[in-house]
Structure 1
Amino acid sequence: MKIVVIGGTGLIGSKTVSILRQAGHEVVAGSPSSGVNSITGEGLAQAMAGAQVVIDLANAPSWEPQAVLEFFQTASRNLLAAEAEAGVRHHVALSIAGTDRMPDNGYFLAKVAQEKLIAASGIPYTIIRSTQFMEFLNGIAAAAADGDTVRLASGLFQPIAADDVAAIVADVAQAAPRSGIVEIAGPERAPFNEYIARYLKAVGDARVVVADPEARYFGGRVEQYSLVPMGEARLGGIGLDEWLRRSKG
């Protein structure tokens, strides 16, 4: 089967490409550096020719609300048009758990807009809503830092390792389209502040984590279930301790 992975050289994309190639598929790792650009449309027709599945893992280069909205809308329109022309039978897109529950987070709103375009496209699809990646824990702590204090809300948090995300994305891409949403998360759920405190302690970071209900997550207010699946979810197998062990290796 020919599978096109947009964002195929990124964190999740490179891992997904490797898994699919090992499974015997013909995989195109699409990225601007390889001449496949979902924003300009460059190389899309050639990449899609003969493809059965397209996986969209592209990430916006900016978190500025208008810029990120324009990125996902433009990229999705270009991809879906090229897929319709090529007769692609399954569009898989990686989104974020809680996108529809944090209206003051511009990035989440942009992902909602992307999801709506996919659902309305007429192409069979599966949207994978993932919790935050463990690989972003350091960046999350840095963004919430106020000197030697890290201020985070106590809403629930359930991050997932990139290896687990890639494995599930590859699995979904090889299965029949769901024409709906699959939610995925890590195996451990805890209050946001407690999870980050555990991570910082494990890596020898002495900063103090404080539970602050007013602390925002990239502009969004974090309620109890803002960042985790509300119902049934497919869970990864790599917990924080195992992820840390692998990261050091």
Structure 2
Amino acid sequence: MSALPQILHIDLRSLTADYADLRYSEGNLNAFEARRLPLADIQDLIEQMERDYYVALPEAYVKTGRRLYEWLDGSDRWLSTLLGSGAAVLAIATEQRLAHLPWEVLHDKHGFLVGRSQPVVPVRWQGERLTWQTAAVPNRPLQMLFMATSPEGVEPVLDFEAEEGRILEATQRQPLTLMVEESGCLAELENLLTSYEPGHFDVVHASGHALIGPEGPRFITETETGDRFDASPQDIAKALQFRFPALMFLSGCRTGQSGGQG
């Protein structure tokens, strides 16, 4: 049985207009270390995220990731020290405007944390202790399903071939089986998934446009005739049914946002 991943929990809250309270723990959430971080150091990032992060072509991932990492790390480099001790998951809880920051692109001076030879994966933590179930890793290539959505009348038309190419380029040294679902329709996605055994696909990657409206977040998919259908999280979950992959990835503008609430 493989060991559970080592998790470093970080809880960030902007308690005043000038400072953020940071608490971190390596295990017992009731036993934590605390420090204060000046918000002025990243105030421009907070104000610019609507422009630089929630757009079709985000800019300066490396620069933004490094600034966020250095802000967390501080002059004493506490974060670098703890990550060097073997943490595999960085669980970050944030709120309000801090939640809009792209913590997933944290970057030390050597590269993105997720790109290390022993990756450190930043994840969004909702405040409750994370539970992990260890599953046997199948001895086979990674099975990935890619679905692109491009309904009639939705602009701009996205370059799905280029995105598929980047996936293949990034995984060219890893065993990967990539299947493409070309309809962009949730009903067809459901039909495809149910034609395989549960757990067949490790990753489902859906690419398209997204928005946040009065009724909440929506991912723009297609109907069976190619018309626009704004799918809710519940619609997507229904299509997956009992065949949830280990990773469901939605690639679309504003998919990391929750409408002014972080």
TM-score over 0.5 (shorter chain): no
Q: Which has the higher helix share?
A: 1
Q: Which has the higher strand share?
A: 2
Determine which structure has more spread, i.e. the larger CA radius of gyration: 2
TM-score (norm 1): 0.31
